[in-house]
C-alpha cells in the first residue's frame, strides 16, 4: 500500500463553495480585485480591469460595499433516523466513521451546481438534506453497510469529491427513507503500481491531486486532468464518464480505466484482472461508466499509467475570428498530430482572460503595448472579434519540437499568430479558478454557470448561434436587468466533432427567485442544444437536470434494458439517488 502524500491540513476545502478555504476573490478599496493565497497564477496581485469589464459586459453598475452576504446560520432539517439501523451502525463501526453533525450533513447534501445547489445553500435553503454521513474505509465496510441498508431499507448515496454540477447529488423530496451519504474519500490509497506493465490499482476515493502526487513521486502520471482535478475522485470520474483536458494524449476516463470494482446489493461487480483488451462477450464493466451512483459503491479501479513526459511546453495562438480558429482546429484534428490539449476560446472569453491580468508597467508594459500595436494596427485584428487557442504539448524533446513546428505552420494558413508560452500557460491554468470567479460573482448578484455538449463539426456554428439567440430571448422574456452574458469555447476535438463549453452570466439584483429563473433558462438552452444537433452532455454527466432528455438520446428498448439492470442489481433501490435513467418519473 502506497502512502498518500497530500498534507490535508494545508488543503482545507471551503464548506459549500468551490475550492480551498485560503483562496477567494476580494474587492480592494480602489475597486481592484485580488485572488488571495498563492495557489494559482492569478493569486496575489491586483486586477484593475475586472470590475469595469464586468460592468460593461452586463450593462450594470457595481456599487462599492453593496455585496450580498451569505445567510447564517445555514438552514438544515433535523436528521430523520431509522433507530435500528443507527444502532446497528454504532455497534459495527467506530464512532469516527459516522456522524449526524449538522455541518457534515449539510456538506454532504449537495454538489456544485450553481443554481440548484450552491446558491440555495448559501442564500436560501436546500429542499432535502442527508440524515447521516458514513465514512467508508474499506471494501468490507462497504459490504457491511450495504447489508445493513438492505435489512433496514435505508437509502445510500455515494459521495466522492462533491464537485458534480448536474445535480446528481441533489436529494429527492419524494424519498421518505433515511438517507445516508457514503463518503468514499478515506479510501484514497494506491494499492500497487506495476512499472513493467504500466498499471496501478487505485482506491476510488482518491482525488486527482492526491493521485498525481503519488504517481509523480514515482515518475508516472495518470494523465486524466479535469478542471476539478484538485477535488474530484477516481470513483466520481468513472461514475460520470468524465473527460480530462489532456484526453488527446491520455484518453478519456473510459480509455484510462481497465478494471472497476463495485460493491452492489446483489454482489461484487468486477473482472478477474485488468487487461489491454478482451473480447469476453457482454461486459458489466461498460455499464459502470456513467452509472452516477445508481448501482452501488465503486471501491477501486485498475488504471493505465504513463512515464512522466520528458518535456511539457505551453503555447498560444491568436486568430482574427472564431471561424478561422475552428477551421484550424478541424484541419489539425485530422492531421494526425494533436497536442495533449488544445482549446479555442471565443472573443468574450479571450477578453475576459485579458482583464484578469495585472497592470503592466515598465518594460513589460512597453512590450505589451508593442504587441497590441502589431496585432491591431499592422495585422488588422479587431479587438471585438479576435480569439485565441491555448495548447499543451508533451513528450520527448523531438516530439514537442515536431508538434510546435506542425501546429504553428498549420495555424499560419488560417492567419493564426503565435502568442507565447506564458499566455498559453495562463489560459490553460485559468480553468482552475473559474468556479472561484463564479462564487465571487454571487456576492455581486451575478449568477453564472457552465454547460457543455458535443457537436459534429458541421453543427458548431448552428448550435452557438441558436444558443445565443435563445439566451437573449429568455433574458428578455423574464425581464431581467442588465444584459445577458454568454461565451463559449471548444475544449476538446474529435475526428467527428468537438466539445462546446458554454458559460452564462445574468445580473439578478432585485429579481425574485433568481436561482430558479436561471435554472429554467439553462434547462431551456439544453433543449436548444439538443434540437440543433448537440449531445445531452460531453463530460458532466446527466444527473437530474438532464434526465428528461434521456428519451431523446436512446431508444425505448435501450432504456428498458438499463432499467432492468438497475432492478436486478438493486431490487430494493437501496442506491436511490435517482439519476439519469433512474430519475423520478
Residues carrying an active site annotation: 501
What would the grid cell of residue 145 be? 453497510
Please identify which residue in the block is written with the cell numbers 503555447: 315
Joined grid coordinates for residue 260: 472497476
What are the DSSP E strand ranges found in 90-185?
98-99, 132-135, 155-159, 179-183
Computed from CA positions of residues 178, 179, 185, 191, in that sequence, does the dihedral angle turn out positive or negative? positive
Q: CA angle, 115 as apex, 112 and 121 as ends, to 5°?
A: 65
Between CA 533 and CA 499 the distance in angstroms is 12
H helix runs in 231-312, sequence order: 234-240, 247-250, 253-256, 285-288
Q: Which three cell numbers stand for residue 385?
A: 472579434
Task: Please name the residue that has the C-alpha cell 419524494.
Answer: 174
- The residue to which cell 458532466 is assigned: 540
Provide the strand spans (E) within 367-471.
387-395, 417-418, 446-456
Burial of 43 (0-12, 13-18, 19+ CB in 10 A): middle
Rg (Cα) of the chain, in Å, rounded? 24
Q: Give the number of other CB atoms < 10 A from CB of residue 12.
A: 10
H helix intervals, 21-131: 50-58, 83-92, 102-107, 119-123
Please choose, from the candidates 33, 48, 7, 20, the residue with its C-alpha nearest in 3D space to the C-alpha of residue 358.
48
Q: What residue has cell string 493505465?
A: 304
Spatial CA neighbour of 221 closest among 74, 104, 133, 340: 340
In 160-287, the DSSP E strands lie at 179-183, 190-194, 199-203, 220-221, 257-264, 267-269
d(CA 395, CA 582): 43
Give the separation between CA 390 and CA 61, rounded to whole angstroms.
32
User: Which H or E run includes 314?
Assistant: strand 311-319
DSSP helix, strand, coil percent of the chain (3-state; round to 5): 40, 20, 40
Q: What SS3 state is found at 474? A: helix
Distance CA 273, CA 192 (A): 13
* Distance separating alpha carbons of residues 529 and 532, to the nearest angstrom: 5
Nearest to 107 by CA among 12, 205, 239: 12
Q: What span, in angstroms and rounded, lies between the C-alpha atoms of 31 and 219?
A: 45
With a CB cutoff of 8 Å and minimum separation 6, the contacts of 345 are 353, 387, 388, 389, 390, 427, 487, 489
Amino acid at each position: 500500500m502506497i502512502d498518500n502524500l497530500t498534507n490535508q491540513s494545508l488543503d482545507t476545502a471551503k464548506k459549500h463553495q468551490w475550492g480551498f478555504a485560503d483562496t477567494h476573490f476580494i474587492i480592494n478599496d480602489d475597486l481592484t480585485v485580488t485572488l488571495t493565497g498563492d495557489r494559482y497564477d492569478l493569486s496575489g496581485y491586483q486586477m484593475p480591469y475586472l470590475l469595469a469589464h464586468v460592468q460593461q459586459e452586463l450593462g450594470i453598475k457595481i456599487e462599492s460595499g453593496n455585496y450580498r452576504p451569505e445567510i447564517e446560520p445555514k438552514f438544515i432539517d433535523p436528521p430523520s433516523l431509522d433507530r435500528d439501523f443507527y444502532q446497528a451502525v454504532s455497534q459495527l463501526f467506530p464512532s469516527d466513521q459516522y456522524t449526524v453533525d449538522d455541518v457534515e450533513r449539510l456538506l454532504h447534501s449537495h454538489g456544485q451546481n450553481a443554481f440548484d445547489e450552491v446558491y440555495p445553500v448559501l442564500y436560501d435553503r436546500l429542499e432535502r438534506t442527508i440524515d447521516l454521513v458514513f465514512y467508508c474505509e474499506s471494501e468490507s465496510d462497504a459490504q457491511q453497510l450495504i447489508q445493513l441498508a438492505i435489512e433496514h431499507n435505508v437509502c445510500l448515496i455515494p459521495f466522492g469529491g462533491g464537485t458534480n454540477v448536474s445535480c446528481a447529488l441533489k436529494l429527492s423530496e419524494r424519498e421518505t427513507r433515511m438517507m445516508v451519504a457514503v463518503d468514499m474519500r478515506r479510501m484514497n490509497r494506491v494499492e500497487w503500481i506495476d512499472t513493467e506493465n504500466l498499471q496501478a490499482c487505485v482506491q476510488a476515493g482518491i482525488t486527482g491531486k492526491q493521485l498525481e502526487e503519488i504517481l509523480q513521486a514515482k515518475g508516472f502520471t495518470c494523465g486524466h486532468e479535469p478542471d476539478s482535478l484538485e477535488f474530484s475522485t477516481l470513483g466520481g470520474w468513472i461514475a460520470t464518464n468524465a473527460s480530462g483536458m489532456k484526453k488527446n494524449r491520455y484518453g478519456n476516463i473510459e480509455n484510462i480505466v481497465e478494471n472497476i470494482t463495485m460493491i452492489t446489493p446483489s454482489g461484487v461487480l468486477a473482472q478477474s484482472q485488468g487487461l489491454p483488451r478482451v473480447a469476453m462477450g457482454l461486459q458489466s464493466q461498460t455499464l459502470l461508466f456513467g452509472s452516477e451512483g445508481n448501482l452501488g459503491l465503486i471501491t477501486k479501479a485498475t488504471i493505465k499509467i504513463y512515464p512522466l513526459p520528458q518535456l511539457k511546453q505551453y503555447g498560444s495562438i491568436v486568430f482574427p475570428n472564431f471561424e478561422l480558429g475552428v477551421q484550424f482546429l478541424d484541419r489539425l484534428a485530422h492531421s494526425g498530430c494533436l497536442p495533449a490539449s488544445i482549446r479555442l476560446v471565443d472573443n468574450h472569453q479571450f477578453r475576459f482572460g485579458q482583464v484578469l491580468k495585472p497592470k503592466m508597467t515598465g518594460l513589460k508594459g512597453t512590450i505589451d503595448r508593442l504587441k497590441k500595436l502589431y496585432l491591431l494596427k499592422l495585422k488588422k485584428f479587431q479587438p471585438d472579434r479576435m480569439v485565441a487557442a491555448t495548447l499543451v504539448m508533451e513528450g520527448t524533446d523531438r516530439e514537442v519540437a515536431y508538434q510546435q513546428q506542425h501546429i504553428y505552420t498549420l495555424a499560419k494558413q488560417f492567419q493564426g499568430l503565435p502568442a507565447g508560452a506564458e499566455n498559453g500557460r495562463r489560459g490553460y491554468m485559468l480553468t482552475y479558478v473559474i468556479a472561484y470567479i463564479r462564487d465571487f460573482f454571487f456576492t455581486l448578484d451575478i449568477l453564472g454557470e457552465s454547460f457543455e455538449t458535443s457537436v459534429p463539426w458541421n453543427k458548431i456554428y448552428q448550435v452557438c448561434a441558436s444558443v445565443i439567440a435563445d439566451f437573449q430571448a429568455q433574458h428578455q422574456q423574464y425581464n431581467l436587468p442588465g444584459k445577458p452574458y454568454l461565451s463559449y469555447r471548444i475544449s476538446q476535438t474529435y475526428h467527428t466533432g468537438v466539445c462546446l463549453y458554454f458559460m452564462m452570466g445574468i445580473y439578478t439584483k432585485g429579481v425574485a427567485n433568481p436561482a430558479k429563473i436561471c435554472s429554467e433558462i439553462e434547462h431551456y438552452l439544453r433543449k436548444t442544444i439538443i434540437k440543433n444537433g448537440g449531445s445531452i452532455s460531453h463530460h458532466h454527466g446527466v444527473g437530474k437536470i438532464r434526465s428528461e432528455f434521456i428519451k431523446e438520446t436512446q431508444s425505448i428498448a435501450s432504456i428498458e434494458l438499463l432499467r432492468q439492470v438497475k432492478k436486478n442489481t438493486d431490487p430494493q433501490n437501496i442506491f436511490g439517488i435517482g439519476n439519469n435513467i433512474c430519475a423520478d418519473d
